Every structure is written in structure tokens, then in C-alpha cells.
């Protein structure tokens, strides 16, 4: 399993998630302003990892304060805490936008699908999907599952493909069907690495299924893929 963030002596070792899935690069942060810049630049993603990184940033900031005065120390820590707290207004803005979309969807009798993402630094991640679905429980927002995106994050050791399907099965409004090889997706079903048979129980129930295949697969591969999906009852 990839470690997104860890404390290493007097510094933070952080996985730069803006470079995933094509590169696995770690950066070292030695001060709280570097931490704030990393969070703002979305080098760290996901609520748990951001929280841990910010806490480590506060610890780094405490080491920067040179004083014997308790009051000066607390004042400095408050300032550092405010700097770190101001780095991620994204989630607040996201929920405001979703609230507007949810109201409009309810008026029109529509459902909105929140899709699992390909890049780990994009919103929403595994945990954030759950937060969104919980926040709008009873509304018009549902989960939308993309097979290639889930396979990519599984290959990177970030989240198990089956866990996404099992956890959000009751909210699943639809799926994007395609295959993947490594971190390259949008192949015809059956021509890559995705275990369609093993996932079939979770792929049969969503009411909407969209075949999302790019030009990298030819007509025969797509037709064979459709026959495979029919044979195991997915379509």
C-alpha cells in the first residue's frame, strides 16, 4: 500500500499526488508554509491525508517558533493553524455547488451521478464519495461507477475495486463499462485486466450501463466484449 504521507525525523515525506498515476514521486517538506503550499496545490488529496498533513505541518510550525514565552508560543501556533486551515476551501465550495444542483435536479425529477475519479488528486476520493452521499441522502445525488478509474486506483494500491462497488452498491445509478491495462483504460471489455466475472454480481444491478470504449479497440474487440458481458449477465 502506498503511504501518502509520513513523518520522517524533522520533516514530512509526502507523495505528490498530482503526478499519479504515471509517476510516483515523494517530496520533503520542512516548514509549515511548504505544507500549506502542498495542500493548496493539491499535492495531497483526500480528507484523512490532508488532516494528517496539516497536523504534521502544525508540528513543523511549532519547531519554527523560538520563544520561552507560553503566550508567544500559543499566538504563533494560532497563526500557523489559521494558515493551514485556509488552504482547502474546496470541499465547502463543492457542497455549495452540489446543493444547488440537487435542488434543481429534484425540481426536474432527475438523478445526478457522482463518479469515482481516475486521478487520485481529483475530487471525490473514496471517503469523499461517502460524505457526499450521506449529506444528500434522500435527494437526487447517486453514485456512478467507472470501471477503468477504479481499476487504475486499485493497481496503484489506493483503493480496492470491489470495495467501491460493495460500499456504494445501494446508491449506484449507473456504470461506465470499459477495460483497462495497467493505468491505461477505455479498452473493449474482455481485452484487458479487469475481472468482469468476479465483479459481475455488483455490475448487474445498476439501471444505466454505458459502453465507453475509445479508438484503441477495434470493432471486432467491441463486439466480442459485448458478447462476453451478455454471457455473464451484465447487459
How confident is the model at residue 4, as a pLDDT? 83
Domain 90-231, what architecture? Answer: Alpha-Beta Barrel (3.20)
The three-state secondary structure class of 46 is: coil
Sole residue written with cell 449529506: 135
Confidence of residue 88 (pLDDT cuts 50, 70, 90): low
Confidence of residue 188 (pLDDT cuts 50, 70, 90): very high
Altogether, the residues listed in the chain come to a count of 235
Query: d(Cα 234, Cα 107) in Å, to the nearest integer?
Result: 32
Could you tell me the residue ranges of all domains in the chain?
5-85, 90-231
Confidence of residue 229 (pLDDT cuts 50, 70, 90): very high
Lowest mean pLDDT among 20-24, 64-68, 135-139: 20-24
**Fold for domain 5-85?**
1.20.120
Residue 217 corresponds to which cell in the numbers above? 479497440
Query: d(Cα 178, Cα 217) in Å, to the nearest integer?
Result: 10
Same fold, 5-85 and 90-231: no
Has residue 89 got a pLDDT over 60? no
41 near 53, Cβ under 8 Å? no
Burial of 78 (0-12, 13-18, 19+ CB in 10 A): exposed
Per-residue pLDDT tens for 105-118? 999 999 999 999 99
Residue 21 corresponds to which cell in the numbers above? 498515476
210 near 176, Cβ under 8 Å? yes
How confident is the model at residue 19, as a pLDDT? 86
Task: Return the H-helix or E-strand segment holding 82.
Answer: helix 70-85
pLDDT, average across residues 157-169:
92
Sole residue written with cell 483504460: 185
Half-sphere exposure in the Cβ direction for 216 (13 Å, CA): 15
Name the strands in the sheet holding 11-15, side by side, starting at the edge strand that comes first in the sequence: 5-8, 11-15, 26-29
Amino acid at each position: 500500500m502506498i503511504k501518502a504521507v509520513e513523518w520522517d525525523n524533522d520533516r514530512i515525506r509526502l507523495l505528490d499526488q498530482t503526478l499519479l498515476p504515471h509517476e510516483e514521486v515523494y517530496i520533503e517538506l520542512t516548514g509549515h508554509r511548504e505544507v500549506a503550499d502542498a495542500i493548496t496545490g493539491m499535492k495531497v488529496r483526500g480528507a484523512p491525508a490532508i488532516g494528517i498533513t496539516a497536523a504534521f505541518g502544525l508540528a513543523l510550525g511549532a519547531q519554527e517558533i523560538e520563544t520561552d514565552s507560553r503566550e508567544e508560543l500559543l499566538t504563533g501556533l494560532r497563526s500557523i493553524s489559521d494558515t493551514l486551515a485556509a488552504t482547502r476551501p474546496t470541499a465547502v465550495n463543492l457542497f455549495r455547488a452540489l446543493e444547488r444542483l440537487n435542488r434543481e435536479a429534484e425540481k426536474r425529477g432527475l438523478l445526478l451521478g457522482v463518479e469515482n475519479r481516475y486521478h487520485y488528486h481529483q475530487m471525490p476520493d473514496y471517503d469523499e464519495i461517502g460524505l457526499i452521499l450521506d449529506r444528500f441522502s434522500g435527494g437526487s445525488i447517486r453514485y456512478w461507477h467507472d470501471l477503468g478509474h477504479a481499476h487504475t486506483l486499485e493497481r496503484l494500491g489506493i483503493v480496492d475495486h470491489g470495495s467501491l462497488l460493495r460500499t456504494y452498491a445501494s446508491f449506484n445509478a449507473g456504470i461506465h463499462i470499459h477495460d483497462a491495462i495497467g493505468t491505461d483504460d477505455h479498452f473493449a471489455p474482455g481485452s484487458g485486466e479487469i475481472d468482469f466475472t468476479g465483479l459481475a454480481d455488483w455490475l448487474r444491478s445498476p439501471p444505466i450501463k454505458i459502453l465507453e470504449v475509445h479508438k484503441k479497440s477495434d470493432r471486432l474487440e467491441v463486439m466480442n466484449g459485448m458478447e462476453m458481458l451478455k454471457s455473464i449477465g451484465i447487459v
